[in-house]
Amino acid sequence: MKLNNYGEGIAKGMVVTMKNAIRAPITTQYPEKQLHISRRTRGNQLVWDKERCIACSMCARACPVGCITMATSRDENKKLKVDKMDYDAGVCIFCGLCVEACPQKCLYMASEYEKSVYSRNKLNFTKEDILMTEKSKPSGYYSPENEAKLPKQTLLVDGKTWDK
């Protein structure tokens, strides 16, 4: 093997560092420019579509940590309805097993990530808070129709680090 311990390796390394110094930086200046996140992201909250729900409690049974608490009862047509559905976003690990377990596909994960609160008890949501409205943004995890509506993800391999 060639003995090159007169500093050639160090010189080659310094050439590499200088080459990288000329490239554009890959940092995104966060609050001003925001990337498009994945269309299937498992975001910070659940979104519940009340009309399709049949109150089967499969989501509460599938959850590994027990963050969904459901109480159901039968109403006058002998159909199940939901009395109480408490979702604790502080315990939730965002694994998505509840979305997968729902047979009516009425539960979605949100595609938001900026939901910090100042005190921990604001993270306990009741069934009104997680109801699906126009403002809630369900993500495409396990639901192809939502996935088609969201913008495409910015990929670093395309050379983009922020959205124009």
One-letter identity of residue 107:
L
Range 95-114, binding another protein (CB under 8 A)? 95-97, 100, 109
Q: How far is the CB of 57 from another protein (least distance, A)?
A: 14
By C-beta, is 44 or 124 nearer to another protein? 44
One symbol per residue from 36 to 55: x for binding another protein (CB under 8 A), - otherwise; what is it? -xxxxxx-------------
User: Looking at 26, 71, 91, 117, which residue binds another protein (CB under 8 A)?
Assistant: 26
By C-beta, is 125 or 141 nearer to another protein? 141
Judged by CB under 8 A, does residue 31 bind another protein? no
Instruction: Give the Cα separation of 9 and 15 in Å (integer).
Output: 10
Q: How many CA atoms lie within 13 A of 49 on its CB side?
A: 16
What secondary structure letter does DSSP report for 25? P
Candidate segments 16-24, 67-75, 113-121, 124-132, binder of another protein by CB under 8 A: 16-24
Long-range contacts formed by 61-64: CB under 8 A, 24+ apart = 61/101, 62/97, 62/98, 62/100, 62/101, 63/92, 63/97, 63/98, 64/93, 64/95, 64/97
Q: Please state whether 159 falls in left (phi above 0), alpha (psi between -120 and 50) or beta.
A: left
Judged by CB under 8 A, does residue 141 bind another protein? yes
Interface with another protein (CB under 8 A): 1-10, 12-21, 23, 25-27, 29, 37-42, 62, 64, 93-97, 100, 109, 139, 141-142, 147, 152-153, 155-158
